[in-house]
Chains A and B, each alone.
Chain A
């Protein structure tokens, strides 16, 4: 599927929320969308275009805003597609994709704890890689390397 064809099929569903589809490194395209239309885009991609597999969810810190991206795979088309959305505001948030692709659950927990993107209506938004009670988002550019701190280690009574 070419980016122009993808844009034509998505424009009818998303309207103004679709910011454009551009070619991207041999993928089916890079779909840029507003975060308000996330759930309708997810359902369209899965049910109408056949992107049944969510490969990756991640976040990027661009200092003035943050970006969330999804990489999907279609078994029928044998193609990947990249969805990306710019999140503004002090608390960047977007609707969770775990209701559409269950594999988004752990990926979104990782993006939440490392980049600080909140996923609304996530069933189980808690730490995945870091210990409980960790206060920082270590993949933000404002997080500097530091001398090791003494974190409180919750020991279990044996």
Chain B
């Protein structure tokens, strides 16, 4: 099965110069170099154990994390329109999406899957981007329904985003107006296949 390449992440907003950069070390870099030169910090030497650890990272640990991650996707509990009704039905007793390890969470900090279920207007667009940016990596996006895929019947309207892929990178598109819960489950299972084949 051929897998399309993952689209590039959207351009980030320019960072506020007053805020500290994300990932900036507490100790400045040149001081670390100075301390290393004075042998206060031992320089790592490549040993056989390091090589084994590096191989294990790629061949053993990463597949395990991939297997664990793709079987416990946590979508954000965020409903936009009538697709959210089908989204709710998919997690009810009849379809029971939790048997695939999919549990909706209420905070974007705990999620790795954003299911955009409904019409996105320009007014709510920056809130969607904020939620996407609040989710920790790795993260995936499912565009559920015609509205999120391409604007749907409101494509030429003055206030509707014509496709949520204008805002965030989308991995799986689900057609339907609204799609049935089976279609949502199919999309989630397709996303699990994608995650396995990409090996992220």
Contact = CB atoms under 8 A, between A and B. Distances in A.
Physical interaction between A and B: yes
A146 B123 contact: no
Given A136-B158, A138-B159, A148-B155, A158 B134 contact: yes
Chain A interface secondary structure, helix, strand, loop or mixed? loop
Interface string B92-125: 0000000000000000000000000000001101
B167 interface: yes
Interface of B: 13-16, 19, 122-123, 125-126, 129-130, 133-134, 151, 155-162, 166-167
Chain B interface secondary structure, helix, strand, loop or mixed? loop
B151 A129 contact: no
Interface residues of A, number: 19
B123 A130 contact: yes
A157 B126 contact: no
11 contacts: A129-B159, A130-B158, A131-B123, A138-B158, A148-B161, A151-B122, A153-B167, A155-B129, A156-B130, A157-B13, A157-B15
Given A145-B157, A148-B161, A153-B125, 6 more contacts: A136-B158, A138-B158, A147-B156, A148-B155, A155-B129, A157-B19
Nearest to B158: A138
